[in-house]
């Protein structure tokens, strides 16, 4: 039980006893006491004034007296400041947390709760490599999955690969026209980059042909429709849908090149999936559901034979669910896949990590599933996130100016090398150890920077700022962890501090208590991050914890503490801080070095 829960229970019990009427935790608020006031936690009393017909100070004095007299192991004193009851929590409470949890690697995490969740993220297209936007998506999806696991959920990580459609055919046509049989192996180019180059070539050639037609007198609409390369691409899509063997063979070959490239990047960034769905397998799903929807009068036919749903009463609009030729649209496929996920895994919740440009689409998906009476409909949740922008604006893949994930990772590793060499503290590292350290720092910097911002917000990425060892960054937290591990390595782990009990007769100093108070909050932070699907809460917490430890360590020695009792206390405090930083960073997908 967290300290706030303990305080809420004690306050509720005391109010009920004092005033002889029932109270609940909703009748008042408990917050951490502001730094300028004495105390640890504050009970806000104003909401009780009307109910009890007493002044806040009168209520506070009566309540504070009762709490300290009846909970001596929890509260030592209180004070009233303008209607706020500030409570000081006993040192014994904080020390008991340290004694119990200082070496617990599972501290803050919950028991399994019997609920099953699927988190879908990544969703790449097989016509280009992963880019910076994909990185935010992958880091969010992976981290949310791990945070939910830490809160007791069974989690299935999934991806849907967009491996069919006109955009895939564009790369295929361009390869046929310009490759002269080249392959990733023959060129030494990573498979997803190789195919992506032909997607760019398609657009360059398409633009050239359109310009040519415009110069010959065509209007823009006709030129775009009649460009030979576009007509060839549209024919290839029809051939693919008809199962033409040579088209299917080329499609499989080029997609495999891309998958091989994706796998290298996924492994590099630590992203993984329990199941991968492919649009080529799922695009026909939902056709039976359309028929069921017509039978239930959820859907209706228009005169041309197309099938629609009217969502105007729900504040949306009419939505096409099946074309007049019987082919499905994206929403139909998504309905079918939502049903398949439920049938396969019997999930309680289905989380979609998708950019905020799809907010409307996701509202429509859930609403249609609810109207169809699908058992998983209420469990559909859109983790909507903002785009990653640079100083030059949004990324555009068609012009070949995308911020490529692999190139960015290379740049980050080089920047990590430069920063680390400038600090000059790794002279005893081998070449292999240095290479691994640069990789860990670079990925930590990238992940932390992209995850420290609330997912809903659009963000601007600054590679140089992200790797600053003194800023609000992953490397700052990583360095703090390494610093603590260095302190602990200098003390024999078999010495008495490791298993000894802590001396409770010596009062906690202000910074010792501040660090313990923050450590106690870790489980609550994990719970809130899960509830909000928001890894930035964990990122902000571990940064604050690292900052607080550095302030503590700048003031108080650990190895040369003023007494053995203080030395034992601070060693355990350092150990618990290191474990909690490591745990929190792991939930963000970030490794923490033992030394730097």
What pLDDT does 109 receive?
97
Given pLDDT bands bounded at 50, 70 and 90, which one contains residue 205? very high
Residue 80: pLDDT over 80: yes
Distances in whole angstroms, Cα of residue 143 to Cα of each of 138, 274, 546: 8, 15, 20
Continuous H helices in 321-404: 330-345, 359-371
Residue 243's CB: how many other CB atoms inside 10 A? 8
What span, in angstroms and rounded, lies between the C-alpha atoms of 395 and 390? 8
Give the list of residues 6+ apart from residue 514 with CB closer than 8 angstroms, or none. 548, 552
* 380-385/349-355 β-pairing: parallel
Q: Among 95-104, 326-335, 469-478, 493-502, whose mean pLDDT is lowest? A: 493-502
Give the list of residues 6+ apart from residue 37 with CB closer than 8 angstroms, or none. 79, 81, 84, 86
Q: For residues 268 and 401, which has the higher predicted lDDT (pLDDT)?
A: 268
Cβ atoms of 451 and 539 closer than 8 Å: yes
Residue 303's CB: how many other CB atoms inside 10 A? 6
Of the candidates 165, 180, 179, 173, the residue with the CA atom closest to the CA atom of residue 233: 173
pLDDT, tens digit (0-9, with 9 covering 90-100), for 83-104: 899 999 999 999 999 999 999 9
pLDDT, tens digit (0-9, with 9 covering 90-100), for 538-559: 999 999 999 999 999 999 999 8
What pLDDT does 424 receive?
79
Residue 219: pLDDT over 90: yes
What pLDDT does 422 receive?
86
Residue 529: pLDDT over 50: yes
Percent of the chain surpassing pLDDT 90: 85
pLDDT, tens digit (0-9, with 9 covering 90-100), for 225-279: 999 999 999 999 999 999 999 999 999 999 999 999 999 999 999 999 999 999 9
Residue 355: pLDDT over 60: yes
What is the pLDDT averaged over residues 408-417?
93
DSSP string, 138-167: HHHHHHHHHHHHHTT-EEEEEEEEB--SHH
What pLDDT does 497 receive?
63
What pLDDT does 392 receive?
55
What span, in angstroms and rounded, lies between the C-alpha atoms of 367 and 382? 12
Of the candidates 148, 154, 32, the residue with the CA atom closest to the CA atom of residue 527: 148
Average pLDDT, rounded, for the chain: 93
What span, in angstroms and rounded, lies between the C-alpha atoms of 263 and 279? 18
Cβ atoms of 408 and 400 closer than 8 Å: no
What pLDDT does 495 receive?
60
At 30 the three-state DSSP class reads strand
What span, in angstroms and rounded, lies between the C-alpha atoms of 538 and 148? 12
What span, in angstroms and rounded, lies between the C-alpha atoms of 109 and 147? 9
At residue 79, φ and ψ (nearest 5 deg) are -150, 160
DSSP 387: P
What is the pLDDT averaged over residues 505-530?
96
What pLDDT does 496 receive?
56
What pLDDT does 37 receive?
95
Residue 427: pLDDT over 90: no
Residue 591: pLDDT over 60: yes
Compute the radius of gyration of the chain from its Cα atoms: 30
DSSP string, 76-113: EEEEEETTEEEEEEPHHHHHHHHHHHTT-TTTT-----
Residue 401: pLDDT over 80: no
Convert 167-189 into a string of H (helix), E (strand) and C (coil): HHHHHHHHHHHHCCCCCHHHHCC
What span, in angstroms and rounded, lies between the C-alpha atoms of 237 and 378? 36
Given pLDDT bands bounded at 50, 70 and 90, which one contains residue 283? confident
What is the pLDDT averaged over residues 472-500?
85
Distances in whole angstroms, Cα of residue 228 to Cα of each of 168, 200, 220, 484: 17, 17, 14, 65
What pLDDT does 395 receive?
43
Residue 79: pLDDT over 90: yes
What span, in angstroms and rounded, lies between the C-alpha atoms of 204 and 209? 9
Cβ atoms of 165 and 233 closer than 8 Å: no
What is the pLDDT averaged over residues 209-222?
96
Residue 373: pLDDT over 50: yes
By CB neighbour count within 10 A (0-12 exposed, 13-18 middle, 19+ buried), where does 147 fall?
Answer: buried
Given pLDDT bands bounded at 50, 70 and 90, which one contains residue 398? very low
What token pair was written down for 332? 């139909």
pTM of the model: 0.93
What pLDDT does 420 receive?
87
Where do we find the tokens 């007049």? 324
Q: Among 15-24, 170-179, 464-473, whose mean pLDDT is lowest? A: 464-473
């Amino acid at each position: 039980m967290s300290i706030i829960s303990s305080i809420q229970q004690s306050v509720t019990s005391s109010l009920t006893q004092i005033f002889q009427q029932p109270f609940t935790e909703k009748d008042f608020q408990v917050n951490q006491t502001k730094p300028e006031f004495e105390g640890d936690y504050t009970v806000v009393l104003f909401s009780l004034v009307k109910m009890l017909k007493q002044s806040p100070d009168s209520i506070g004095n009566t309540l504070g007296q009762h709490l300290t007299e009846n909970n001596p192991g929890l509260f030592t004193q209180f004070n009233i400041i303008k209607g706020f009851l500030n409570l000081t929590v006993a040192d014994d409470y904080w020390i008991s947390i340290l004694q119990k949890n200082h070496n617990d690697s599972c501290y803050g995490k919950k028991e399994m709760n019997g609920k099953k969740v699927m988190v879908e993220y990544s969703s790449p297209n097989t016509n280009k490599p992963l880019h910076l936007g994909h990185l935010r998506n992958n880091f969010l999806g992976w981290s949310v999955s791990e945070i939910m696991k830490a809160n007791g959920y069974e989690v299935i990580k999934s991806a849907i690969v967009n491996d069919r459609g006109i955009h895939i055919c564009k790369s295929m046509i361009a390869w046929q026209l310009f490759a002269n049989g080249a392959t990733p192996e023959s060129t030494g180019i990573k498979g997803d980059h190789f195919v992506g180059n032909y997607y760019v070539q398609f657009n360059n050639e398409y633009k050239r042909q359109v310009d040519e037609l415009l110069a010959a007198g065509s209007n823009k609409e006709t030129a775009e429709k009649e460009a030979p390369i576009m007509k060839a691409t549209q024919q290839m899509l029809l051939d693919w849908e008809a199962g033409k063997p040579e088209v299917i063979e080329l499609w499989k070959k080029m997609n495999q090149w891309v998958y091989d490239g994706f796998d290298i990047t996924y492994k590099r960034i630590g992203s993984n999936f329990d199941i991968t769905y492919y649009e080529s397998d799922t695009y026909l799903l939902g056709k039976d559901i359309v028929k069921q929807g017509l039978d239930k009068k959820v859907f209706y036919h228009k005169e041309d034979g197309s099938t629609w749903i009217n969502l105007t009463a729900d504040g949306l609009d009419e939505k096409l669910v099946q074309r007049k030729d019987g082919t499905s649209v994206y929403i139909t496929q998504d309905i079918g896949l939502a049903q398949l996920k439920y049938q396969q895994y019997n999930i309680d919740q289905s989380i979609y990590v998708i950019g905020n440009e799809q907010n409307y689409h996701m509202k429509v998906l859930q609403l249609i599933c609810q109207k169809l009476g699908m058992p998983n409909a209420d469990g559909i949740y859109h983790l909507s996130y903002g785009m990653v922008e640079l100083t030059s604006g949004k990324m555009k893949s068609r012009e070949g100016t995308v911020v490529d994930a692999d190139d960015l990772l290379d740049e980050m590793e080089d920047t990590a090398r430069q920063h680390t060499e400038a600090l000059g503290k790794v002279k005893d590292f081998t070449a292999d150890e240095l290479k691994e350290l640069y990789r860990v720092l670079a990925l930590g910097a990238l992940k932390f920077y992209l995850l420290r911002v609330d997912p809903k917000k659009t963000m601007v990425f600054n590679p140089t700022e992200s790797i600053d060892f003194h800023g609000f960054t992953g490397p700052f937290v990583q360095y703090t962890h390494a610093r603590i591990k260095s302190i602990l390595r200098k003390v024999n782990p078999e010495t008495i501090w490791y298993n000894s009990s802590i001396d409770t007769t010596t009062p906690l100093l202000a910074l010792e208590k501040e660090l313990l108070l923050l450590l106690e909050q870790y489980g609550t932070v994990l719970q809130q991050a899960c509830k909000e699907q928001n890894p930035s809460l964990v990122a902000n917490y571990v940064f604050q914890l690292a900052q607080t430890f550095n302030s503590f360590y700048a003031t108080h020695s650990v190895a040369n503490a003023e007494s053995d009792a203080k030395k034992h206390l601070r060693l355990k405090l350092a150990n618990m801080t290191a474990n909690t930083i490591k745990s929190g960073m792991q939930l963000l997908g970030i490794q923490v070095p033992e030394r730097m």
